[in-house]
């Protein structure tokens, strides 16, 4: 099809992966997990933590297990948190609202 793409009616046999980011909260810490959609753990990368105004609050490295932990006491989470993970070639994000945090803190 040259430079253009004609729709295909069947899956293409191509290696496909995207970065999947997930963050969970337990009232004390935000646990960030990053892996590729093919199941492989993202072993290196930068985790950026932003506030509700998209202002950068802190950055930390992704662990070799594809995880990072952000203690809630280390950031101002009153307006929620945006967790961005950048592995160099892929990036993605997860949004944690103030309500997400409140639910986990029993309020």
Partner 1 sequence: MHRYIERVVLAVFGLLMATVVVAQDRPKVVAVNYPLQYFAERLLGGSAEVVFPVPDGVDPSFWRPSISDISMIQSADLILLNGAGFATWVDRVTLPRSRLVNTTAAIKDQFIVTESITHSHGDGGEHSHEGLASYVWLDPTLAMAQAEAIAEAIKARNLAPPDEVEDRLQQLRKELEALDQQAKSAFSDVQNAALIATHPRYQYFGRRYGLEISSLEWEAGATPNDAQIAELQMLAQETAAQVLIWEAEPPVEAIEAVESLGLQSVIFPTLVREPADATYLSSFEQSVGTLSEAIQMRQ
Stretch that binds partner 1, among 27-35, 63-71, 77-85 (CB under 8 A): 77-85
Contact 24, 30 (CB under 8 A): yes
Residues across the chain: 107
| Phi/psi of residue 4, nearest 5 degrees | -105, 175
DSSP state of 62: P
Give the shortest CB-95-to-partner 1 separation in angstroms.
Answer: 5
Pick the binder of partner 1 from 17, 26, 27, 55 (CB under 8 A): 17
- Interaction with partner 1 in 22-51: which residues (CB under 8 A)? none
Give the shortest CB-77-to-partner 1 separation in angstroms.
Answer: 10
**Residues lying near partner 1 in the complex (CB under 8 A):** 1-12, 14-18, 20-21, 52, 54, 79-82, 87-89, 92-100
């Amino acid at each position: 099809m040259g430079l253009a793409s004609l729709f295909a009616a069947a899956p293409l046999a191509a290696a496909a992966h995207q970065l999947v980011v997930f963050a969970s909260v337990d009232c004390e810490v935000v646990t960030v997990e990053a892996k590729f959609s093919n199941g492989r753990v993202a072993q290196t990368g930068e985790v950026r933590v932003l506030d509700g105004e998209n202002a950068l609050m802190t950055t930390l490295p992704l662990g070799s297990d594809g995880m990072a932990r952000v203690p809630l006491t280390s950031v101002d989470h009153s307006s929620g948190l945006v967790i961005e993970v950048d592995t160099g070639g892929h990036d993605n994000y997860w949004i944690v609202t103030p309500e997400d945090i409140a639910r986990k803190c029993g309020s």
